[in-house]
Structure 1
Amino acid sequence: MLVYAAVGDSLTVGVGAWPGAGLVPQYRALASRAANAYVESMSFGMSGATTGDILRLVKFNPRLRFILARADIITLTAGGNDLIRAAKQYARKQDPLVFPEALRECREHYAELVNTIRALKASRGSRYIIRAADLYNPYPAVPEAALWVKRFNRHIDSLQCGNFKIASVYSPFVGREKELLSVDGLHPNKQGYRVIAEQMSRLGYRPLL
């Protein structure tokens, strides 16, 4: 048996899809097939959570820290709400500094989040994997949206190292937004989550398997 802990925002919750059709159950099924073993999943998703919210959860929630320290597989979804919040602030204030400041904070929080999880895994050696997804763009008609999503993705891509890898979901969603997003136009539907889960699975499971 393998233990899978999922941490993140509404994508970890599975908002936009029916129960059992979100990211966590779909990735769990793919991991179970790859390992030819039962995978027990535990989800710590918070709708609306920013990278700062998720960082605080990982740093101060004893149960989550206990589970992360022992998990074989960890997935992470974070960052989308930081940019959405910045977009709303920009709409109110028209302040061009809103996006750079949001991206700076997001970068700092994401890096600390990954380092905190790595520290919790120090006693596990190399027998675990951390998988995350970059951001897709739910607002393809807004030029500024693509710009800041791409800048965020470049940053988290730079954090990849060893056990931690980033699945690219930006490109698979381009031009397929109506097909892959739910009726709210923001969260993935079942097929959208399937794309994200498959992209994560394509990264492989070494050195765990």
Structure 2
Amino acid sequence: MTLQYTALGDSLTVGVGAGFFAPGFVQRYKRKMEEDLQQDVSLVVFAKSGLKTAEILEMLDQPFIREQVKKADVITITGCGNDLLQSLDIYEKEQDEHVFWEASSHCQKNYSDMLARIEEIKGAEHSNFIVRLLNLYNPFPNIELAEKWISGFNRHLKQLETAPQIKVIDTYAVFKGHEREYLSFDQVHPNGRGYEAMAEKLRAAGYGPLDN
């Protein structure tokens, strides 16, 4: 039997920063899954650089994407990095910390709505699937506010976990102290080593009901 893997998200799901034709975490995770579960994995990716969480949520209204989500055994979602970057820009102009907390609660609500939408698409008859939400790492460790904002957002995201089916992957811990080693030349996106470390973190979370 072939497992279906649907990846949703922003530039991290696209694999920006990995290098020309090099795989991001999605393709690496797919390979690890095939090794670990001894099954073929079929992958579809719905992602675009620059997407905010509201736009990722909107994708779940598109019939073709809904069809792929319905069939999926494994779903990964990356998001909120662009919401953060946008609020940084606004903060630089307005110097009002409030923009961060607004963006954070907006992201949290969108993630919560994404999970509700996935549940609705799946329906009661589909319970044998896993969802992996990747939390935010901090590419700006020297900006105190960014650190505070990202930590706060990650704490809230963690509350959406219902292990083993829905797990939050601690991407933050993967990059903390390894920014120089794991970030690409743009200092925002991961490089190949960063994506490999993300895929390993996903692998370490196990496969829940798929492992039986």
Query: Smaller-chain TM-score range?
Result: over 0.9
- Aligned pairs for 1:141-152 within 5 A: 141-152=142-153
Matched length: 208
Q: Aligned match of 2:197 in 178, 195, 198?
A: 195
CA contact (8 A) 2:134 2:171 kept: yes
1:124 Cα deviation from its structure 2 partner: 4.2
Structure 2 unpaired stretches of 5+: none
AA paired with 1:130?
V
* Residue range with higher mean Cα deviation, 169-178 or 1-10: 169-178
1:61 Cα deviation from its structure 2 partner: 1.1
- Aligned pairs for 1:1-209 within 5 A: 1-18=2-19, 19-58=21-60, 60-162=61-163, 163-209=165-211
In structure 1, distance between residues paired with 2:119 and 2:201: 22
In structure 2, distance between residues paired with 1:154 and 1:177: 21
CA contact (8 A) 1:126 1:208 kept: no
CA contact (8 A) 1:180 1:189 kept: yes
TM-score, structure 1 length as denominator?
0.96
CA contact (8 A) 1:20 1:26 kept: no
* Residue range with higher mean Cα deviation, 160-169 or 6-15: 160-169
1:96 Cα deviation from its structure 2 partner: 2.5
Calculate the aligned-residue CA RMSD, in Å: 1.1
Q: Runs (4+) of structure 1 moved beyond 6 Å?
A: none
AA paired with 2:87?
A
Relative to structure 1, the CA distance from residue 202 to residue 150 in structure 2 (aligned partners, 3 Å threshold; closer, same or farther) is same
% identical equivalent positions: 38
TM-score, structure 2 length as denominator?
0.94
In structure 1, distance between residues paired with 2:178 and 2:63: 40
